[in-house]
Amino acid sequence: MIAIDTNLLVYAHREDTDFHDRAFRVLKELAESGSSWAIPWPCLHEFLAITTHPRIFNPPSPLSIAIKAMEVWLAVPSCVMLAEGPGYFEVLSNLMNRSKIAGPKVHDARVAALCLHHGVRELWTADRDFSRFADLRTTNPL
Q: Which region, left, alpha or beta, applies to residue 119 given φ > 0 means left and ψ of -120 to 50 means alpha?
A: left
Work out the number of other CB atoms within 10 angstroms of the CB of residue 35. 10
Task: Check whether 19 has a pLDDT greater than 90.
Answer: yes
pLDDT for 42-95, tens place per residue? 999 999 999 999 999 999 999 999 999 999 999 999 999 999 999 999 999 999
* Long-range Cβ contact pairs of 27-36 (< 8 A, separation 24 or more): 27/73, 30/2, 30/4, 31/73, 31/76, 31/78, 31/79, 33/78, 34/78, 35/1, 35/2, 35/78, 36/1, 36/78, 36/79, 36/80
Q: How many domains would you assign to the chain?
A: 1
Residue 95: CATH number of its domain: 3.40.50.1010
Domain that holds residue 21: 2-139
pLDDT for 82-137, tens place per residue? 999 999 999 999 999 998 988 889 999 999 999 999 999 899 999 998 988 989 99
